[in-house]
């Protein structure tokens, strides 16, 4: 039975585990009626920036304040990263969240180094930096405060309205052409969005967040991602148009990909919510990735190939041209970057 408010139905086996426990089919199982609670685990990493060397990603550094995500999106490719921690890509991913409380201090230390080569910083490239616990912990806010002091260019992506809490830092960065924000919108249908992303903001709230950012002078755009063929891909023009009406000036899209255990999690999700469409959806994803459910090849990753993928690409560009929506974010500037002495706010 699926957990209420969760995206995954269970915990698929971790591919790195050598041993697994199997229960007899007739064994007694404690049917605990309480909802699955989220636990938060500390991360003692001594570095926070990840250097990007992927040629199809237009940023130099990545920063993820959290590992795992409470949003519970069954399609999330980042689920597989939880397996490296000894957890499952299923319910563990959305109920065992690793938090990097020292992220702001580590970021400050990294930016202050004389060896640091300024480049565009993406927050977050994997799990959402504004997932629910951020309201309490403020780790992302702390990182933005550091970026504002250093005038470090930041590109952000989120599904949540909490980003507007940090308009003070974002507007300061925007004054130096050093900030842009994507709001991820997968569907305009609140019912579909609710089951696709159980603990994320509603589509209406995300559009209103785009408006709030744009009104404050922070470049805002929409990420129509992921597009899932046979499920929400037909909404692409409407999503782009709604974002434009709410002040978006740029857009991007991607096609769903299902690496490793994510295929099992998403397949179970389809079986629960759209059993009549399951094989059609999976078949169209395979058609886009040369018979597989995933590809990490530059140019093919997140875009796919073949007729259906080509049609989606053409639809995106035609829609953006028609409503005058840029197909990439504005180029952020490194000109204002400055090195600040940690804890003092002085320039070297």
Does residue 340 fall inside a structural domain? no
pLDDT at 66 over 70: yes
Is 3 a domain residue?
no
DSSP SS3 for 184: strand
Q: How confident is the model at residue 178 (pLDDT cuts 50, 70, 90)?
A: very high
Q: Give 302-330 pLDDT, tens digit per residue.
A: 899 989 899 999 999 999 999 999 999 99
What is the phi/psi pair of residue 208, to 5°? Answer: -65, -30
- Stretch 138-162: mean pLDDT, rounded? 97
pLDDT at 78: 95
Q: What's the mean pLDDT in 90-107? A: 96
pLDDT at residue number 98: 96
Q: Is 91 left (phi over 0), alpha (psi -120 to 50) or beta?
A: alpha
How far apart are the C-alpha atoms of 68 and 217, rounded to whole Å?
31
| Residue 299 vs residues 97, 289, 321: alpha-carbon distances, Å | 31, 11, 22
Answer whether residue 5 shows pLDDT above 80.
Answer: no
Residue 26 lies in a domain: no
Is 250 a domain residue? Answer: yes
Given a contact cutoff of 8 angstroms between Cβ atoms, the answer to whether 6 and 37 are in contact is no
In total, how many domains does the chain have?
1
Reply yes or no on whether the pLDDT at 19 is more than 50: no
What the block records as the tokens of 241 is 């148009």
Burial class (CB within 10 angstroms; exposed 0-12, middle 13-18, buried 19+) of 277: middle
Would 153 be classed as within a structural domain? yes
Q: What is the mean pLDDT of residues 21-50?
A: 66
Residue 348 confidence (pLDDT) above 70: no
CB 210 within 8 A of CB 248: yes
Indicate if the pLDDT at residue 22 is higher than 60.
no
| Containing structural domain, residue 301 | 39-323
**pTM for the structure as a whole:** 0.88
Q: Any idea what the CATH number is for the domain that residue 184 is in?
A: 3.20.20.70
The pLDDT assigned to 347 comes to: 43
- Distance separating alpha carbons of residues 146 and 152, to the nearest angstrom: 8
- Rounded Cα distance between 12 and 299, Å, is 29
Q: What DSSP assignment string belongs to 299-325? A: TTTTT--SHHHHHHHHHHHHHHHHHT-
User: To the nearest whole number, what is the mean pLDDT of the chain?
Assistant: 90
pLDDT at 27 exceeding the cut of 70: no
Beta bridge partners of 62: 50, 122
The pLDDT assigned to 324 comes to 98
pLDDT score, position 168: 98
Answer yes or no: is 51 within a domain: yes
- Cα dist from 213 to 52, 59, 187, 241, 269, whole Å: 27, 21, 20, 17, 33
Query: For residues 63 and 123, is the Cβ–Cβ distance under 8 A?
Result: yes
Flag whether 227 is in a domain: yes
Per-residue pLDDT of 229-276, as tens digits, reads 999 999 999 999 999 999 999 999 999 999 999 999 999 999 999 999
State the pairing for strand pair 121-123/50-51: unpaired
Q: Residue 23's pLDDT band (boundaries 50, 70, 90)? A: very low
Report if residue 334 sits inside a domain: no
| pLDDT at residue 4 greater than cutoff 80 | no
The proportion of the chain whose per-residue pLDDT surpasses 90, expressed as a percent, equals: 79
Strand order in the sheet with 39-42: 39-42, 96-99, 66-67
Kindly tell me if the per-residue pLDDT of 281 is higher than 80. Answer: yes
> Which carries the bigger pLDDT value, residue 192 or residue 296?
192
CA distance linking residue 81 with residue 87, whole number of Å? 9
- What pLDDT, in 10s, does the model give residues 130-142? 999 999 999 999 9
Long-range pairs for 262-267 at CB < 8 Å and ≥24 separation? 262/75, 262/76, 262/77, 262/79, 262/80, 262/89, 262/294, 263/293, 263/294, 264/12, 264/89, 264/90, 265/7, 265/8, 265/9, 265/12, 265/74, 265/79, 265/89, 265/90, 266/74, 266/75
């Amino acid at each position: 039975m699926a957990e209420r408010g969760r995206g995954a139905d269970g915990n698929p086996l971790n591919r790195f585990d050598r041993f697994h426990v199997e229960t007899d089919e007739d064994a007694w199982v404690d049917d605990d009626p309480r909802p699955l609670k989220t636990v938060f685990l500390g991360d003692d990493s001594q570095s926070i920036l990840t250097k990007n060397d992927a040629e199809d990603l237009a940023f130099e550094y990545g920063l993820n304040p959290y590992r795992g995500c409470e949003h519970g999106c069954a399609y999330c490719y980042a689920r597989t990263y939880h397996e490296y921690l000894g957890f499952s890509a299923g319910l563990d991913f959305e109920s065992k969240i690793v938090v990097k409380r020292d992220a702001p201090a580590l970021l400050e230390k990294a930016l202050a180094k004389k060896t640091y080569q300024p480049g565009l910083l993406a927050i977050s490239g994997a799990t959402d930096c504004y997932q629910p616990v951020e309201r309490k912990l403020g780790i992302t806010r702390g990182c933005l405060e550091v970026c504002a002091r250093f005038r470090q260019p930041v590109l952000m992506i989120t599904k949540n309205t909490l980003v507007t809490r940090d308009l003070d830092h974002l507007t300061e960065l925007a004054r130096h052409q050093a900030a842009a924000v994507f709001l991820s919108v997968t569907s305009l249908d609140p019912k579909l969005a609710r089951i696709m992303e159980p603990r994320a903001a509603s589509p209406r709230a995300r559009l209103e967040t785009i408006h709030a950012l744009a009104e404050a002078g922070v470049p805002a755009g929409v990420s129509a991602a992921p597009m899932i063929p046979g499920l929400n891909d037909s909404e692409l023009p409407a999503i782009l148009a709604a974002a434009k009406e709410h002040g978006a000036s740029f857009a991007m899209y991607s096609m769903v990909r299902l690496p490793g255990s994510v295929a099992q999690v998403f397949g179970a999700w389809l079986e629960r919510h759209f059993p009549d469409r399951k094989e059609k959806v999976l078949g169209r994803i395979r058609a886009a990735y040369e018979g597989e459910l995933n590809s990490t090849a530059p140019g093919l990753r997140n875009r796919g190939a073949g007729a259906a993928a080509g049609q989606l690409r053409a639809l995106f560009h035609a829609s953006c041209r028609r409503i005058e929506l840029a197909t990439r974010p504005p180029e952020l500037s490194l000109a204002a970057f400055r090195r600040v002495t940690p804890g003092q706010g002085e320039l070297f």
